[in-house]
A and B are shown apart, each in its own frame.
Chain A
């Protein structure tokens, strides 16, 4: 019985050819900032210097870079790991191969969002920007308090123009229906 259990666990965690998604690799490599990903030679400087990795064993930038090189889409997206990068850019400054590691993580997040995998906090921020132009929904009472404290009134952003621009961006990314 116990033997059987071990075998099934090994089976579920083992990487197989099915984990490598070549089309994902191609899609990722087209994103700006990811160009140098292929230069990563797995030295591990990024993980060694990462302030998140120091306290969280589930976040290993080197592992994510390797998975990205191999196109392991499902495994990259299976948990919250890509959302744990703090974008402190320490790894970007230290990478001996000039890989924009934070840029690769950002690209992976963008692709995750396309698949509907987006943390709630980012949905809120996006909605706030569409509504008010600002990332946070600033309550009226706080706006009044500003003026009471002698600060200039908080201007209303042109949210129509802002959401118009963001909609243009979103529209331009939709796959074209006609074939080229």
Chain B
């Protein structure tokens, strides 16, 4: 198999607060033979400005896509928000002439031009499940995490809106579950598994967002999961970084470690927990490590 190569779009929140996701992803992808090309020209994907001004979102996303087209490489992101936004704009420019004209009208001012649809935008979970494939991942698992019972929170923007994403089944997603099972661990089901984590309304109504995440943690606790697995930096922060705040608001202890999927996979591949930035998790996962 030819080595896979992507333009790595890092986004904003990962270098800001979730380095553990980047560290573990780079480590695991390197082991799996994936070549990541840095993207020094990148700016914010645009999503946070969609609420302020839709056209500003379009232009920020478009500028990023221009560099990918120039290099002729598919883009890979760790953040589903970035992936969804870049993918949507890539598709809009390809299919909607009016949008394309409008965007290129702006881009012309700085000497850029966007074709649209020339490259693909991939989220980590697609790179793992579709591009690398289950067989290769299975071969890389040397220390299966048998007896480990975890659960998952896949994250809305990995799946929805269906029209732009077209990945897995948003009503009954199975791919993260299958990826978890490749590590030897079991992924338990729980109530409202596919629901939002509440992170997008942090800053608007914090208490409400903590309540939403807390309700999910309650359901996760009910099935006695030893850890929660995520593939989104915002979801991970919501459940990990904010877990103590949630415990305070709900007056209930959870103590559930929240791992990025590449951390779980890395452990199963026999990588050093330190190299996977396991020590950077707010809710300590040491007990979980000792069990295996």
Q: Taking beta carbons and an 8 Å cutoff, which residues of A are in contact with B?
A: 31-33, 51-52, 55-56, 80, 83-90, 92-93, 102, 106-107, 109-110, 113, 118-122, 125-126, 129, 133-136, 138, 142-143, 145-146, 149-152, 154-155, 157-158, 161-162, 164-166, 168-170, 172-173
Q: Which residue of B lies closest to A169 (CB)?
A: B55
Contact assessment for B48 and A151 in the assembled complex, using a CB-CB cutoff below 8 Å: no
Contact assessment for A93 and B162 in the assembled complex, using a CB-CB cutoff below 8 Å: yes
Contact assessment for A142 and B48 in the assembled complex, using a CB-CB cutoff below 8 Å: no
Q: A90-B156, A165-B109 are in contact. Are A51 and B201 (CB under 8 A)?
A: no
Contact assessment for A166 and B208 in the assembled complex, using a CB-CB cutoff below 8 Å: no
What's the minimum C-beta distance from A103 to chain B, rounded to whole angstroms? 9
What's the minimum C-beta distance from A81 to chain B, rounded to whole angstroms? 10
**What is the CA–CA distance of A146 and B10 in the complex, to the nearest angstrom?**
13
Contact assessment for B15 and A106 in the assembled complex, using a CB-CB cutoff below 8 Å: no
Contact assessment for B198 and A86 in the assembled complex, using a CB-CB cutoff below 8 Å: yes
Q: Which residues of A contact B130 (CB under 8 A)?
A: none
**What is the CA–CA distance of A93 and B215 in the complex, to the nearest angstrom?**
23
Contact assessment for A169 and B195 in the assembled complex, using a CB-CB cutoff below 8 Å: no
Q: A32-B54, A113-B52 are in contact. Are A52 and B40 (CB under 8 A)?
A: no
| Interface residue count on the B side (C-beta < 8 Å) | 55
Known interface pairs A80-B205, A154-B10; 5 further A-B residue pairs with C-beta atoms within 8 A, sorted by A's residue number: A51-B196, A89-B157, A110-B54, A155-B38, A173-B55
Contact with A along B212-250 (1 / 0, CB 8 A): 100100000000000000000000000000000000000
Q: Taking beta carbons and an 8 Å cutoff, which residues of B are in contact with A?
A: 10, 12-13, 15-17, 19, 22-23, 26, 38, 40-44, 48-56, 59-60, 63, 99, 106-107, 109-110, 156-157, 160-163, 170, 192, 195-196, 198-201, 203-205, 208, 211-212, 215, 277
Contact assessment for B212 and A146 in the assembled complex, using a CB-CB cutoff below 8 Å: no
Contact assessment for A136 and B12 in the assembled complex, using a CB-CB cutoff below 8 Å: yes
Q: Which residues of A contact B211 (CB under 8 A)?
A: 55
Contact assessment for B160 and A92 in the assembled complex, using a CB-CB cutoff below 8 Å: yes
Contact assessment for B156 and A126 in the assembled complex, using a CB-CB cutoff below 8 Å: no
Q: A118-B52, A135-B48 are in contact. Are A86 and B200 (CB under 8 A)?
A: yes
Question: Taking each of A150, A152, A165, which has the highest tally of chain B beta carbons within 10 Å of its own beta carbon?
Answer: A165
Contact assessment for B41 and A158 in the assembled complex, using a CB-CB cutoff below 8 Å: yes
Q: A88-B200, A134-B43, A134-B44 are in contact. Are A93 and B160 (CB under 8 A)?
A: yes
Contact assessment for B51 and A138 in the assembled complex, using a CB-CB cutoff below 8 Å: no
Q: Which residues of A contact B42 (CB under 8 A)?
A: 133, 155, 157
Q: A87-B200, A121-B203, A169-B106 are in contact. Are A110 and B63 (CB under 8 A)?
A: no
Contact assessment for A134 and B22 in the assembled complex, using a CB-CB cutoff below 8 Å: no
Contact assessment for B161 and A31 in the assembled complex, using a CB-CB cutoff below 8 Å: no
Contact assessment for B50 and A126 in the assembled complex, using a CB-CB cutoff below 8 Å: no
Contact assessment for B196 and A86 in the assembled complex, using a CB-CB cutoff below 8 Å: yes
Contact assessment for B48 and A122 in the assembled complex, using a CB-CB cutoff below 8 Å: yes
Contact assessment for A122 and B19 in the assembled complex, using a CB-CB cutoff below 8 Å: no
Q: A84-B205, A136-B13 are in contact. Are A51 and B54 (CB under 8 A)?
A: no
Contact assessment for B59 and A169 in the assembled complex, using a CB-CB cutoff below 8 Å: yes
**What is the CA–CA distance of A93 and B230 in the complex, to the nearest angstrom?**
22
Contact assessment for B162 and A135 in the assembled complex, using a CB-CB cutoff below 8 Å: no
Q: Which residues of A contact B109 (CB under 8 A)?
A: 164-165, 168
Q: Pick 22 A–B contacts, CB within 8 A, sort by A.
A: A51-B192, A84-B205, A86-B200, A86-B201, A87-B200, A88-B196, A93-B160, A93-B162, A107-B54, A113-B52, A122-B48, A125-B48, A126-B52, A138-B15, A142-B16, A142-B19, A146-B19, A149-B19, A150-B23, A155-B42, A166-B59, A169-B106
